[in-house]
Structure 1
Amino acid sequence: MQGFIIKEAERLKTMYGTSDPYELIDALNIHLRVEGGLGALKGFYSIVLRERYIVINDSLSERDTLLVLGHELGHDRFHQQLAKVAPLKDFMLYNMASRAEYEANVFAAELLIADEAVAECIAEEMDYLKLCASLGFQPQLMAFKLYSMMQRGYKLSLPEVPNSGFLKKQ
């Protein structure tokens, strides 16, 4: 499935000429709402009366907003049947216990982080945390990207996956 996820992310980027989640959401005719009062809920994806919705928490940082949008786009691409039953709610990203959440994370990593950017940083011999800081992504999301690149033949060393609850609100 991971190969299909990677191909779908590339297909969307090529078809619409962008990896910007806002532009893709618009191009795919998905309704986007930014809401307050969601507490620890980062965002969710839902289908109501055949209309697709992504709702995100207005308290997220700009970077976290992009991550959540990419993640919710993953649900749109691969989990519409689940969303017809109940909204796919994301209180904590990087949940490895759920296949749907894992797939949405892989999609977000592939959509938001370019192979070329990672390869350039590695060529400069950046360590893992400098790589994450340089590209502006959390270590957890970068781990999904590096693992994906390794599966496609890149020679990389993947660090231990950090605690999955790092984005959980206090």
Structure 2
Amino acid sequence: MNFIKETVSSLFVTYGTLNPFELCEHLNIKIILSNLGNEIKGFFQRTHGCEMIHINSEIEEHEMKYVCAHELGHAILHSNMSISYFIENPLQVKNKFEIQADKFAAEILINNDIKDQGYGELNIEQISSLIRVPAKLIKYKLNIN
């Protein structure tokens, strides 16, 4: 997954930030907050040259940041995919594209020096709670299967 790290590094060099909301602004991707119900946290949409990330307004702020980073991953890494592909191939999507979007989110949301940040004897779940990202992102960042 070096291409994901390289993509994130390039974004940082170009825009000077890894804040997913700021990156969306630089990339002209609109953020739309609305109540998406209890099941959907967010999704990426591309229509007629317009790109949008829809985020559930009912989730907590730190979760909105994760959802934005994840959906931005789809926007950047899967730019040639249409929504119909995702609907028609849900298992392949979950096993490949969703994981790639999460790895992208991990690269954006977690510092590269996480190993050196003094978390000592904390386990993955404790670190997750402390830095407010899903545990799976920490595992991806640390290359733990």
TM bucket, shorter chain: 0.7 to 0.9
CA contact (8 A) 2:29 2:51 kept: yes
> Structure 1: which 4+ aligned runs deviate by more than 3 Å?
85-89, 124-127
Q: CA deviation at 1:17?
A: 1.1
Determine the structure 2 residue equivalent to 1:131.
Answer: 127
Determine the structure 1 residue equivalent to 2:58.
Answer: 59
Letter in structure 2 aligned against 1:133: S
Task: Give a deviation string over 1:112-144, Cα, whole Å, max 9, x none.
Answer: 10111342235x343333322332222122111
For 1:27 and 1:87, the matched residues in 2 are separated by 27
Determine the structure 1 residue equivalent to 2:141.
Answer: 145
CA contact (8 A) 2:124 2:139 kept: no
Go from structure 1 to structure 2 and tell me whether the alpha carbon gap of 1:37 and 1:97 turns closer, same or farther (over 3 Å shift): closer
Q: CA deviation at 1:87?
A: 8.6
State the secondary structure of the residue aligned to 1:114: coil
State the secondary structure of the residue aligned to 2:9: helix
Go from structure 1 to structure 2 and tell me whether the alpha carbon gap of 1:88 and 1:53 turns closer, same or farther (over 3 Å shift): farther
CA contact (8 A) 2:44 2:54 kept: yes
Give the superposed CA RMSD: 2.3
Q: CA deviation at 1:50?
A: 1.1
- Unaligned 5+ residue runs, structure 1? 90-94, 148-157, 162-170
Task: Give a deviation string over 1:39-94, Cα, whole Å, max 9, x none.
Answer: 311111111001111111111111110111000010011112213x43968xxxxx
- Greater share of residues in helix: 2
For 1:70 and 1:126, the matched residues in 2 are separated by 25
Task: Give a deviation string over 1:88-112, Cα, whole Å, max 9, x none.
Answer: 68xxxxx984311111010000011
CA contact (8 A) 1:44 1:54 kept: yes
Q: Structure 2 length as normaliser, TM-score?
A: 0.85
State the secondary structure of the residue aligned to 1:82: coil
Go from structure 1 to structure 2 and tell me whether the alpha carbon gap of 1:34 and 1:24 turns closer, same or farther (over 3 Å shift): same
Q: CA deviation at 1:19?
A: 1.2
State the secondary structure of the residue aligned to 2:3: helix
Matched residue pairs, number?
141
